[in-house]
């Protein structure tokens, strides 16, 4: 299988300029290294009817091209189940009955990092398990054997972050993002992951999980986000931020693309000219403050 990069949006609504900038970057990274570029719709959670079609339309309007058919996570449940079964067979999972509230209120284990699962359900006795199973459905957690894990990132260099007993399948049966993303990237031959740097802290969990599943760890590039004038991550409430909103105030897709490319220090005339000039080492490392319109 030839190597590939990807863009993997959650179809929760229209893409805004922050998402579009990440998509353009993922495309530039992939195409500049001769990779295929794949599109995966991460619709396990937070999917809104119609959003996928809007997202694909907007990516196409920017000139983003992708290879092969769009993949949807909801079509791939057997792959996720197989991975969880493999982990379970290796003794690397356990059932967890904690509510979010119980986790928040539990005393954290000594030296445990902030926000890490405290391990409440890790060593339940058979009797406890039976009792808890009768009360509510279980989530499946990873029985992690490490506390942290190192990854290498093209833009951030060496990065080591927390690995706790994170959820693989929620108690409503929905596969968790951290499991699905690892399984999908490996299955699709994706060896280059370019995405927003808000996901850098999750990356050690994913790389560790890939190693447990004997899957290759992709090359990572976590790119800076787009922020509003208060420095907060751009959101729909920040005014005209989608291609639809911007077109309505007289800014066509081509002009939005130019703004995004120029914010990256690249020529804005066309995607081809940006591709020719693209150099990851020269990319800005700070968030882009959306100038607003
Ligand atoms: N679906 C995730 C999002 O839209 C991105 C996941 C990824 O790129 O790994 O935030």
Query: Is 171 among the domain residues?
Result: yes
Ligand 1: nearest atom to the Cα of 195: 8
Is the same domain home to 170 and 147?
Answer: yes
**CB-ligand 1 contact for 155 (6 Å cutoff):** no
CA dihedral 268, 252, 16, 46 (to 10 degrees): -130
Mean pLDDT score across all residues of the chain: 96
User: Tens digits of per-residue pLDDT, 111-128?
Assistant: 677 778 999 999 999 999
Residue 85: predicted pLDDT? 98
Q: How many domains does the chain have?
A: 2
Ligand 1: nearest atom to the Cα of 185: 9
Is the same domain home to 10 and 90?
Answer: no
Q: Check: pTM over 0.75? Answer yes or no.
A: yes
Is the same domain home to 105 and 174?
Answer: yes
Q: How far is the CA of 41 from the centre of ligand 1 (A)?
A: 9
Residues in the chain: 293
Specify burial of residue 74 (Cβ count, 10 A radius: 0-12, 13-18, 19+). middle
Residue where a domain terminates, one of 149, 178, 207:
178
The pair phi, psi for residue 122, each rounded to 5°, is -65, -35
Residue 219: predicted pLDDT? 98
Q: Which domain holds residue 87?
A: 78-178
User: Tens digits of per-residue pLDDT, 172-225?
Assistant: 999 999 999 999 999 999 999 999 999 999 999 999 999 999 999 999 999 999
User: Tens digits of per-residue pLDDT, 29-79?
Assistant: 999 999 999 999 999 988 999 999 999 999 999 999 999 999 999 999 999
Beta bridge partners of 190: 4
Is the same domain home to 144 and 234?
Answer: no
Is the same domain home to 98 and 172?
Answer: yes
Residue 1: predicted pLDDT? 61
Is it the case that residue 247 has pLDDT exceeding 90?
Answer: yes
Specify burial of residue 207 (Cβ count, 10 A radius: 0-12, 13-18, 19+). buried
Q: What is the separation, in whole angstroms, between the first and last Cα of the chain?
A: 44
CATH number of the domain residue 105 falls in:
3.90.800.10
């Amino acid at each position: 299988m030839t190597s590939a990069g990807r863009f993997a949006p959650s179809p929760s609504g229209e893409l805004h300029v922050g998402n579009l900038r990440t998509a353009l970057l993922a495309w530039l990274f992939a195409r500049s290294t001769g990779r295929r570029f794949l599109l995966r719709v991460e619709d396990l959670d937070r999917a809104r009817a119609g959003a996928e079609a809007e997202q694909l339309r907007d990516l196409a309007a920017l000139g983003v091209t992708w290879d092969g058919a769009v993949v949807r996570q909801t079509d791939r449940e057997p792959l996720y189940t197989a991975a969880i079964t493999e982990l379970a067979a290796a003794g690397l999972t356990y059932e967890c009955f904690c509510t979010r509230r119980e986790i928040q209120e539990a005393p954290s284990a000594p030296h445990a990092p902030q926000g890490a699962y405290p391990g409440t359900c890790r060593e339940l006795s058979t009797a406890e398990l039976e009792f808890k199973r009768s009360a509510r459905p279980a989530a499946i957690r990873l029985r992690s054997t490490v506390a942290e894990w190192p990854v290498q990132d093209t833009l951030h260099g060496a990065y080591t972050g927390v690995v706790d007993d994170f959820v693989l399948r929620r108690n409503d049966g929905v596969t968790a993002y951290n499991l699905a993303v690892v399984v999908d990237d490996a299955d699709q031959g994706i060896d280059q992951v370019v995405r927003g740097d808000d996901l850098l802290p999750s990356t050690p969990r994913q790389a560790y999980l890939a190693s447990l599943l004997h899957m290759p760890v992709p090359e990572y590039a976590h790119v800076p986000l787009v922020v509003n004038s208060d420095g907060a991550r751009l959101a729909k409430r920040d005014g005209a931020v989608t291609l639809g909103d911007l077109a309505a105030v007289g800014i066509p897709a081509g002009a939005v693309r130019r703004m995004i490319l120029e914010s990256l220090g690249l020529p804005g005339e066309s995607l081809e000219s940006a591709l020719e000039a693209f150099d990851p080492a020269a990319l800005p490392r700070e968030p882009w403050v959306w100038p607003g319109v």
